[in-house]
Amino acid sequence: MLEALLVLTAPLLFLPTMTGYYAYSHGRSFWRWFLVGCGLPFFSLLVVAAVVHQDQRRQSRLPRPASKEDPQG
């Protein structure tokens, strides 16, 4: 009985775990995205990928701080 329960729940928790891991590896909350992944298993991967992509684009548009070897200084 326990083996059957594990066989049934392991695939159900795979996508939420992957969503949480992907979010966590990019500075987001694992548990929040894990719960989103439980509610919206396939859609949540697309959403977290879009959020990470948007953050990376926003980060690349920010001005970079001046280096210590500034020749004008």
Q: What is the pTM of this model?
A: 0.69
Q: Is residue 20 part of a domain?
A: yes
| Structural domain count, the chain | 1
Euclidean distance between CA atoms 28 and 6, whole angstroms: 28
The verdict on residue 6 lying in a domain is no
pLDDT score recorded for residue 12: 86
The reported pLDDT for the residue numbered 63 is: 77
Mean pLDDT to the nearest integer, 1-18: 88
50 assigned to some structural domain: yes
- Could you report the per-residue pLDDT of 15-42, keeping only the tens digit for each? 999 999 999 998 899 999 999 999 998 8
Domain that holds residue 31: 13-54
Residue 41 · residue 18 · CB < 8 Å: no
In a domain, 71, yes or no: no
Tell me whether residue 63 is in a domain: no
Instruction: Determine the angle formed by the axes of helices 41-61 and 30-39, rounding to 10 degrees.
Output: 140
pLDDT of residue 58: 87
